[in-house]
């Protein structure tokens, strides 16, 4: 089947309309043609009171337009790296639309709508860095975070955008199942961090989080070492304070062992042990998987999407 891609001749780069006070702005943008693998819709500048205008790409699964059913929603970061290699920053993508289509055909999962929020390049680090961790860091470590961020950390504002503005618009303009059990969030590296932060800070919105190749060192692993004591302490306090017991939430964790992922194992083991102490059960509330021989890049994440999504989006009432 022909993959669903954006037709540049029909894409419009206009602002999403609607008032910013009292109601969520409308999703606008001219869709790509319908194909056997779903349909993409894009708006170039979805406005926000909390953060700068965001580029959004929405994927509607096969059958959406012909039916009346309602769908769970998967929110994803780094939206330009999800669907079309020609628009990705690295020439490769997660191909998450293809994974959902395959798994739906096998009846392994129910179909979902995917909402990809593009990163803005230079602001990615400060947008995805959990603000609670930044504020809890000792001054020397915070100074290193400041250097990497290149500006104030704005992840709380980004989450407010997702929760207060984008999700209400998606739930209004599309046939969604808006409850937390059917609302998931996922990203890789720094995107894994902000996904964990989202399910910690907004458990009544996001019921499932996919934390793929999560960047646990927070900074440059070459500088902080394989398991930095201060960073590990930050994480221990964060998990105890922000996550605590599962309360029905489910989190997928994974990492490889090459390139940046080589630094993640010691952190992940400590996170897993602490979550177990807090009552999170492996396989029920959380799942951690190591992929030997895999690196920190989109092709590696695409190769494991079937397994990730089968667990994260497990069918149920």
Ordered DSSP codes for 184-234: EEEEETHHHHHHHHHHHH-TTT--EEEEET--TTSS-HHHH-TT-HHHHHH
pLDDT value at 15 more than 80: no
Other CB atoms closer than 10 Å to residue 232's CB: what's the count? 16
22 or 267, greater pLDDT? 267
pLDDT on residue 48: 96
pLDDT value at 90 more than 60: yes
pLDDT on residue 206: 98
Over the chain, what is the mean pLDDT? 88
pLDDT on residue 11: 32
Tens digit of each residue's pLDDT (9 = 90 or more) over 100-113 = 999 999 999 999 99
pLDDT value at 3 more than 90: no
H or E element that contains 259? none
Tens digit of each residue's pLDDT (9 = 90 or more) over 153-211 = 999 999 999 999 999 999 999 999 999 999 999 999 999 999 999 999 999 999 999 99
- For residue 150, the number of C-alpha atoms closer than 13 Å in the C-beta half-sphere is 7
> What separation, in Å, do the N-terminal and C-terminal C-alpha atoms of the chain show?
30
pLDDT value at 16 more than 90: no
Q: What percentage of the chain reaches a pLDDT higher than 90?
A: 77
Query: Whole-prediction pTM value?
Result: 0.90
pLDDT on residue 238: 97
Q: Region 275-290: what's the mean pLDDT?
A: 97
């Amino acid at each position: 089947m022909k993959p669903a891609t954006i037709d540049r001749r029909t894409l419009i780069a206009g602002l999403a309309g609607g008032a910013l006070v009292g109601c969520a702005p409308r999703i606008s943008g001219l869709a790509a043609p319908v194909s056997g693998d779903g349909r993409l819709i894009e708006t170039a500048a979805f406005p926000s009171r909390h953060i700068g205008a965001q580029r959004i790409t929405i994927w509607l699964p096969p059958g959406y337009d012909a039916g009346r059913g309602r769908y769970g929603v998967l929110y994803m970061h780094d939206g330009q790296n999800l669907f079309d290699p020609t628009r990705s920053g690295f020439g490769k993508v997660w191909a998450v639309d293809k994974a959902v289509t395959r798994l739906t055909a096998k009846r392994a999962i129910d179909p979902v709508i995917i909402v990809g929020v593009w990163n803005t390049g230079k602001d990615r680090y400060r947008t995805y860095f959990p603000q609670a961790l930044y504020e809890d860091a000792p001054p020397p470590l915070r100074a290193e975070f400041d250097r990497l961020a290149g500006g104030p950390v704005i992840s709380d504002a980004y989450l407010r955008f997702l929760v207060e503005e984008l999700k209400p618009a998606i739930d209004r303009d599309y046939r969604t199942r808006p409850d937390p059990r059917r609302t998931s969030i996922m990203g890789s590296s720094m995107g894994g961090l902000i996904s964990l932060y989202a399910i910690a800070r907004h458990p009544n919105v996001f019921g499932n989080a996919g934390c793929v190749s999560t960047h646990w060192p927070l900074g440059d692993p070459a500088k902080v070492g394989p398991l930095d004591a201060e960073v590990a302490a930050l994480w221990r306090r964060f998990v105890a304070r922000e996550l605590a017991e599962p309360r029905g939430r489910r989190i997928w964790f994974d990492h490889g062992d090459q390139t940046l992922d080589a630094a993640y194992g010691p952190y992940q083991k400590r996170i897993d042990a602490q979550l177990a102490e807090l009552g999170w059960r492996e396989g029920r509330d959380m799942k951690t998987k190591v992929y030997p021989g895999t690196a920190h890049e989109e092709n590696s994440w695409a190769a494991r999407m079937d397994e990730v999504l089968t667990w994260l989006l497990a069918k149920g009432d």
